[in-house]
Amino acid sequence: MRTDKTSRPKARLPRGLRDRGPAEIAAERRMLETIRQVYESWGFEPLETPALEYTDALGKFLPDLDRPNEGVFSLKDDDGQWLSLRYDLTAPLARYVAENFQNLPKPFRRYQVGQVWRNEKPGPGRYREFTQFDADTIGSASPAADAELLMMTCDALEALGLKRGEYVVKMNSRRLVDAVLEAANIEPSKRGVVLRAVDKLDRLGVDGVRSLLGKGRKDESGDFTRGADLASDQIELVLAFIQPSISAVSSRFDATWDVAFGASSTDIGEQGQAEIRDAVQIARKCGYSGDQILYDPAVIRGLEYYTGPVFEAQLTFPVANEAGETIIFGSVAGGGRYDDLVARFTGQQVPATGISIGVSRLLSAVRQRSDAALSPLVIVLTMDDSAGSFAMARELREAGLRAEAYVGTRKFGDQLKYADKRGAAIAVIEGADERAAKKVTLKDLKRGAELSKAIESREQWLGERQAQATVDRERLVQEVSAMLKRGRW
RNA sequence: GCAGCUGUAGCUCAGUUGGUUAGAGCGCUGGAUUGUGGAUCCAGAGGUCGGUGGUUCGACCCCACCCAGCUGUACCA
């Protein structure tokens, strides 16, 4: 094809999306498999739903407008109906449950993993496509269902190699928060602003939250954000409520009851306290300690659909970003109770609770500590006998190794370049000389690279034939295995 | 959305107070080596200087607008 230079498309990735290579794929696969095993062992069963749903089923039509919310990627079907890419796994679950309600066991407990898409501005570590791993229980109002999710999240994080103290799973109740706002005489119209300010505690600190509860706050770029404009006694009351979170006391759960003020005197405050207490106490009795599962009054989550308990898991160790700076790493999992979601379809209230692990985020944090890699690769170079190369590769594969025969058309030197670029461990060479002698040459590419650092002159480079050995063709598998072992691949 | 910063080769960047054929390193391709990657040397390809308009004898450089990217912030199921 011939293209006019000006009409050629620019090869570029849409913003906020990314390509992923073998190392990350391997790491994610391992992570997903680990979580999956934990969730299945708890008796949750898998479910898959499509990436596209009708926009109205996702609940993302703009009010009054015949057009989807901008935050979702949408397209119009042939028949004029709007479809959207799912922005989480919970809305499709609600649709699925509503559609199959009769046939499902109640409580219905399922896990689901998949990509979700959000049409938002991407930032460092925030993409427009990412992977979530969800577990939800539909049809149980019991705190046992919430406790189970908290405990199972701990198990999953530990199965992924996190140690005690490297993570916390936090719980709060929106009912309790609402009761406190009421006790502080905060107008309902300011509820959203106040909650959002509290939610930013971990990122902006107490002073940031105080500014946002008051007049407002100016950020690093000089932009100004208006605050809730509360009276100072109201501000102090809210700050006192979230104090256990600020001071990071280890026994936050016990501190709850002292700081909830008159909140407990209202029904809603009582209820909020109870749902936290009951769930956390179940976890305690099951052996989950206060540094694993705890109450944190500053956990808020999204405003739209959570009705009571909210959950959030965080890492407690420092995480470096791409630039090598230590950053505050936000939550790696979040969720809560959403008792109204199924009712959107059926009109019936169905209690539901769930938690979602942000796999992409968790992966980027954990991968800095242990890099998963594919197993070492053996590449059989091809001189003049493709079938022979394939035969050797097959022998190696049958011995459980990862092996490929070179299928390009380039000359020998270039084949080695290829093997080098692929990061192969060993190149297998069988030319005319070897074949006549029933031998093969094995080249240890990693060791060869190390040895080459000492080479100074062209003559020396030409003369060297290091890090390789010629062995009997019959002993191919044994010799390759031995070389891999020696190189500690 | 708001604010700040930045757009020069595939990548990272240099480019003097506005001056004629826009450079470097890395990468890429070829060669030194028709059976040796990784070292070294030689040669080569690769650019509408983000776009449009303006100022000027003359613009990569100055001005305006637009676009894109980055960072912060807002929103975030």
CA of A426 to C1' of B33 (A): 22
Higher confidence at residue A261 or residue A174? A174
Q: Which residue is nearest to nucleotide B33 (CA to C1')?
A: A462
Q: Are A279 and A171 in contact (CB under 8 A)?
A: yes
Task: Provide ipTM, 2 decimals.
Answer: 0.81
CA A198 to each of CA A60, A193, A195: distance values in angstroms, whole numbers, following the listed order? 26, 9, 5
Q: What is the pLDDT of residues A107-164, one digit of tens each?
A: 999 999 999 999 988 887 888 999 999 999 999 999 999 999 999 999 999 999 999 9
pLDDT, position A205: 86
What is the distance between the alpha carbons of residues A473 and A132, in angstroms, rounded to a whole number?
A: 49
User: Which pLDDT band holds residue A368 (cuts at 50, 70, 90)?
Assistant: low
List Cβ neighbours of A412 (8 Å cut-off, separation of 6 or more). A381, A383
Give the CA radius of gyration of chain A.
Answer: 29
Residues 295-314 of A with CB under 7 A from strand B: 301-306
Protein CA at A476 to nucleotide C1' at B35, angstroms:
19
Residues 178-207 (A) near nucleic chain B, CB < 7 A:
192-193, 196, 200, 203-204
Q: What is the mean pLDDT of residues A283-287?
A: 94
A278 touches strand B (CB under 7 A): no
Residue A414, nucleotide of least CA–C1' distance? B37
- Using C1' positions and the CA of A445, the closest nucleotide is B37
Q: Is the CB of A219 under 7 A from strand B?
A: yes
pLDDT of A250 reads 46
Averaging pLDDT over each range in A1-5, A133-137, A366-370, which range is the top one? Answer: A133-137
Is it the case that residue A270 has pLDDT exceeding 90?
no
pLDDT digits (tens, 9 = 90+) for A54-113: 999 998 777 666 778 888 998 889 998 889 999 999 999 999 999 999 999 999 999 999
Quickly give A329 CA vs B24 C1' distance in Å. 39
The whole-number pLDDT of residue A430 equals 92
The answer to whether some atom of strand B lies closer than 7 Å to the beta carbon of A448 is yes
Would you state the pLDDT for residue A241? 85
Does residue A453 register a pLDDT over 80? no
Reference A193, options A228, A149, A165; nearest CA is A228
Q: How many residues in total does chain A contain?
A: 489
A449 CB-to-strand B distance under 7 Å = yes
pLDDT at A7 over 70: no
Q: Is the distance between the Cβ of A443 and the closest atom of strand B smaller than 7 Å?
A: yes
Residue A74 burial (CB count, 10 A): 19
In A 128-187, which Cβ lie closer than 7 Å to strand B? Answer: none
Q: Are A154 and A292 in contact (CB under 8 A)?
A: yes
Mean pLDDT taken over chain A: 86
Is the CB of A220 within 7 Å of strand B?
yes
- Asked if strand B comes closer than 7 Å to A120 Cβ, the answer is yes
Tell me the nt nearest to A11, Cα to C1'.
B10
CATH class for the region spanning A22-175+242-366: alpha beta
Measure Cα distances from A434 to A169, A464, A470 in Å: 61, 19, 8
Say what the pTM is.
0.88
- pLDDT bin (cut points 50, 70, 90) of residue A4 is very low
Tokens representing residue A487 in the block: 């190189």
| Strand B, CB < 7 A, residues 319-378 of A | none
- Would you state the pLDDT for residue A1? 35
Mean predicted confidence (pLDDT) in A449-455: 76
Q: Is the pLDDT confidence value at A429 over 70?
A: yes
Q: Please state the rounded mean pLDDT for residues A291-308.
A: 87
Query: Å between A432 CA and B35 C1'?
Result: 9
Strand A319-320 versus strand A224-226 pairing type: unpaired
- Spacing of A39 CA from B8 C1' in Å: 53
Mind listing the pLDDT tens digit for each residue in A231-258? 999 998 898 888 767 665 444 555 444 5
Q: Which residues contact A385 (CB under 8 A, 6 or more apart)?
A: A430, A435
- What pLDDT digit, counting tens, does each position of A308-328 carry? 999 999 988 877 766 666 666
Beta bridge partner(s), residue A405: A380
Å: A459 CA to B40 C1':
10
C-alpha span between A380 and A392 (Å, rounded): 7
- Rounded Cα distance between A282 and A286, Å, is 6
Q: Residue A476 region, left (φ>0) first, then alpha (ψ -120 to 50), else beta? A: alpha
Beta-carbon count within 10 A of A331 CB: 20
Site of tokens 């992924």:
A160
Residue A38 makes CB contacts below 8 A (sequence gap 6+) with: A152, A155, A156, A159
The pLDDT of residue A366: 81
pLDDT band at A411 (very low <50, low <70, confident <90, very high): confident
A412: nearest nucleotide, CA–C1' criterion: B35
Question: Dihedral of the CA atoms A284, A44, A51, A334 (nearest 10)?
Answer: 0
On whether the CB atoms of residues A370 and A161 are closer than 8 A, the answer is yes
Tell me the pLDDT band of A16, cut-offs 50, 70 and 90.
confident
pLDDT band of A33, cuts 50, 70, 90: very high
Would you give the distance in Å from CA A487 to the centre of its chain? 33
Please give the nucleotide, over all strands, whose C1' is closest to the CA of residue A459: B40
- Measured distance CA(A335)–CA(A149) in Å, rounded: 9
CATH architecture of A377-487: 3-Layer(aba) Sandwich (3.40)
Average pLDDT over residues A442-470: 78
Asked if strand B comes closer than 7 Å to A65 Cβ, the answer is no
Average pLDDT over residues A390-400: 96
CA distance A288 to A155: 10
Nearest nt (C1') from A466 Cα: B36
Evaluate if the CB of A25 falls below 7 Å from strand B. Answer: no
In chain A, domain spans: 22-175+242-366, 377-487
